Structure 1
Amino acid sequence: MIFILSSYAQDKVIEKSGKKPKWVNGLVKDYIIVSGTGADLQSAQQNALTLIKQQIVSAVAENVKSTSTLHTEEANYNNNVNIFLEKYASTTNTQSGKVPFLQGISLSKAEEYYWEKLKRPNKTITYIYHIKYPFSEFELKKLVSDFRMYDRKLTFQLERLLQQIDSVQTVEQIEGNMAQLASLKDYFMDARQDQCNLGISQYRSLLNSIELVELESQLSELKYYLRLGNRPISTSKKPIVRSECARIGSIINNADNVIIQYDYENCYEDPENSILVKYHFGTTDVQKLFYFDVTASKTSIFLSDPLHFKSILKDDNTVTKAVLDLTLQSKYDSPFAIEKVVIEWNGLSPIIIDNIQQNFKGKGSHNLRLNINQPISIKETSALGKTLPVVSGYIYYRSSANGELMSYRIYNQSYTTDW
């Protein structure tokens, strides 16, 4: 390859590296002849090296352009490469590290060099550095081939990364693909750079769309998963977990869910009790408050209304079969089962209603009707005509949440009878 450079005949040479070679400012087949100027020798040398890179890039660009075919796909590809190289030629000084074939260009490969220290007519000092750099037609064709292969490889990489947007399985894959697109964006200087920016934006949108979804919870343990759209997505990252009252224990990353174990014994009965789970994905924060109820496993019942006894079978002195209606009040939402009720009148044998096994759930009032098949003395138990008849006893019930058996003391509870 032959390139023509201007001379500096009006400048006065005050120092030089040796005898001026004939090739300086000349044309030599299979060589690039350049001269770089600078305020000192080193900057002149670097400017000369930059000129070599620019001329090699320009030669590659021109060769790619001249070898374009009539096939639409190939022509479009060659045009993209040519646009890239033409832009690249003007920015070689800052971009040369990004293309492999430019990384091999160095002063050590120069066949000859020659420099002069010049005094300009305006008295300023300038260095001019001449380089004779071997660059044959064969080397040009090889660089063209290498560049096109490398460029096509990166284009395929870009296409693959864009195709994966709708099928990523992990947060790490999203972040990795974004990093690859950022690297490709620094390499490309044509329309593919816009494709990289669009891809990065779409991947960032995926991170912003991730949700934390509760799978199931019980006191002391929270289980959730990460969801992207209508499909799960996983991450190996551990979340930041905080709570105002709960003490966080272990955080277990499973393949399809995350389990957080915690101790809530320092938490009061507050509907705002919660655990904050937060992930930091790149510049995106994904977080959610998971609420928990310390009363979820608590069970407590009491009676607020009078007991109502109704006879089914009786004679003049005894009720042989009756129905008892009670209104139970539950303080918590936790489910429970009534197992046994004992009714006590002073001086009489207790009425025991066993094997009830009736389940209730939810805070508030619950009606319980029980059959009594034990004889009851009418005279001793009748509420008719009495100012404030009362009865005592026990209600035995079991928590469905933890299986604990508890009792409620019926003490001087008012009641009614129809006898």
Structure 2
Amino acid sequence: MKKLLTFALLPLLLAPAALFAQKEKVVDASDREKPAWIGRSDPSAICVTEVGETLAEASARCMASIREQVINSVAVNVCSAETMTRRQVTQDRLMSVMSDYSSVLMTEAAKLPFLSDLSLSNAEAIYWERIYSKKSKRYRYEYSVRYPFPAQTRRQLIDAFLAIDGAKCARCEELRREAETLVNIDLIRQAVEELDGLERYFFDATRRSDVSTLRNIYRQLYDRLSIRVEAESCGSCLYSLRLDGRKVTTSVQPRLKSESAVEMAVRPVADTLYLLTYNPEYASPGDLNRIEVLYLLGGRRIAHTLAFDPAQNKVSVRPVGSVHLEQGDGVVRGSLRLRVTGEGARVTRIELRNPADGKRLAAERIEPTALAAGERTVRFACTGAAAAARQGIAAIRGTVTVVKSDSTAAEIPFTLPYQLTTNQ
């Protein structure tokens, strides 16, 4: 009786399986038999199966899955999503990891040799099936790949990533030390940008917090900047930028603002100093004469207001008219007109730029050197050769260096028309 009951129930038990088999049909395959490794785990290889509407889509999903499994096998020993107190490298087994860590590894994966070489051409075995579903009346591909991933390769990947991670930590510490001795203000912005990248890289809250704190330290450096006047006279001011008392530099040009001074300019001198020059000729002694020097750095305003008295050391020299040049026997002789106000000025240097190629021509003899008030003509001679500009620009650039009665020097730039005569 029991045997009869068993045989009676057997068709009922097999019916669902047969019915399901009838709904799914393999219409094409890469091999006659399905490989035994499909659906099994292997300590020396990664076996994956993915589905896609096309063969290319299914194979691409397989490669993505392999990549993800390699990543997860490298991401090891993260203590929690909040802190990471230590790291131990487990080389012979896979571990579960948090998603942030895997995400970081995905970003750094291009630097790991094995991951950059992932390709179907390196697979040990590939098998695919084209399946037709009678229920949905659609075709799909099931693609399976067996990819070699021995323990030795896993260890190499772990070591490679730890080297990358260690370099990131070392750079963070290096930036911490540099913040205390920084002498170039431009490096603050570069350091902040680099710390932004490190914060995106670090997957644990402890190191992210450390980076955030260090980035704030760099940003606060702007608040400790100041301008210190080193020496000044009417027409010029020598100053330095200071960070906690030490001299620093920047390539940023300051904004200069004044209602009474003209021809204002700033240029670096002597590595850590800056020279502000201006023309106070049109300033009135009875007015409030000021120049504001303003640096905009890191969203901060670093400013200094310089007050000057145009009546103090009231000596000014301005090149006017045109420059006359006469060339012969390897010597250039010339004359330059100067409009002088005040007494006691001396010309110590005249330098021209050859109109043809911009090369420097420095005067070796200057007569006279002492300048009285009024319009004066200074004659000079220099060794070299001058030539007209190729593009027919009838102007010459140069500078005149004048020392005033208080021994302060001023370098006066000029651009004037010129006449060149050549003696054969």
TM-score class normalised by the smaller sequence: 0.5 to 0.7
Contact 1:297 1:402 in 2 (8 A): no
- Look up the match of 2:199: 185
Residue 240 of structure 1 deviates from its aligned partner by: 4.2
Conservation of the 8 A alpha-carbon contact between 2:44 and 2:149 = yes
Which position in structure 2 is the counterpart of 1:100?
A: 112
Letter of the 2:216 partner, please give it: S
Check conservation: 2:230, 2:239, Cα contact below 8 A.
yes
- The 5-angstrom pairing of residues 132-171 of structure 1 reads 132-171=146-185
Which of these residues, 275, 296, 321, is aligned with residue 259 of structure 1?
275
Q: 1:29 offset after TM fit, Å?
A: 4.7
Q: Which of 96, 99, 107 is equivalent to 1:87?
A: 99
Matched, 1:32 2:42: no
On the 8 A contact 1:84/1:188 being kept in 2, the answer is no
Consecutive unaligned residues in structure 2, runs of 5 or more: 1-19, 315-403, 409-424
What CA distance in whole angstroms lies between the structure 2 residues aligned with 1:89 and 1:37?
A: 27
* Contact 1:54 1:92 (8 Å CA) reproduced: no
Partner of residue 290, structure 2: 273
Structure-1 separation of matches of 2:138 and 2:258: 71
Residues 297, 105 of structure 1: alpha-carbon distance in 2 compared, 3 angstrom cutoff: same
Give how far 1:203 is off: 0.7
Counterpart CA distance in 2 for 1:402 and 1:98 is 64
Deviation by residue 1:196-241 (Cα, 9 ceiling, x = unmatched): 1221121111123322222222222122211112322223444344
Q: How does 1:48-127 map to 2 (within 5 A)?
A: 48-62=62-76, 76-78=86-88, 86-88=98-100, 90-91=102-103, 95-97=107-109, 100=112, 103-107=115-119, 108-116=121-129, 121-122=135-136, 127=141
Aligned position for 1:323: none
Partner residue in 2 for 1:218: 233
Tell me if 1:173 matches 2:187: yes
How far off is 1:11 after superposition? 5.5
What TM-score does the superposition give when structure 2 sets the normalisation length?
Answer: 0.55
Provide the C-alpha distance between the structure 2 equivalents of 1:97 and 1:28, rounded to a whole number of angstroms. 23
**Matched position secondary structure for 1:259:** strand
- Rounded to whole Å, the distance in 2 between the matches of 1:91 and 1:142 is 19
Give the alignment's Cα RMSD to 1 decimal.
4.0
Deviation at 1:136, TM superposition (A): 0.4
- Report the Cα distance in structure 2 between the residues aligned to 1:84 and 1:164, rounded to whole angstroms: 38
1:194 has 2:209 as partner: yes
- Determine helix, strand or coil for the equivalent of 1:150: helix
Distance in 1 separating the partners of 2:96 and 2:275 = 50
5+ residue gaps, structure 1? 1-7, 67-73, 300-398, 404-419
- Bigger drift between 141-150 and 43-52 goes to 43-52
1:40 to partner: Cα distance? 5.3
Which digits, 9 at most, give the CA deviation of each residue in 1:244-263, with x for residues without a partner? 45222452243221112222
Whole-angstrom distance in 2 between the partners of 1:39 and 1:212: 69
Distance 1:266 1:19, change over 3 A: farther
CA distance in 1, matches of 2:152, 2:126: 23
* C-alpha distance in structure 1 between counterparts of 2:57 and 2:33, whole Å: 20
- Structure 1 residues 17 and 137: alpha-carbon distance in aligned structure 2, compared to 1, 3 A threshold: same
**Paired amino acid for 1:31:** A
Aligned partners of 1:50 and 1:93 also within 8 Å: no
Moved more, 241-250 or 186-195: 241-250
User: 102-111 or 209-218: which moved more?
Assistant: 102-111
C-alpha deviation, 1:115, in angstroms: 4.5
Aligned residue pair count: 285
C-alpha change, 1:206 and 1:26, in structure 2 (3 Å) is same
**CA–CA distance in structure 2, aligned partners of residues 84 and 161 of structure 1:** 33
Alpha carbons of 1:102 and 1:224: their partners in 2 closer, same or farther (altered >3 Å)? farther
TM-score between both structures, scaled by the size of structure 1:
0.56
- Residue 91 of structure 1 aligns to a residue whose secondary structure is helix
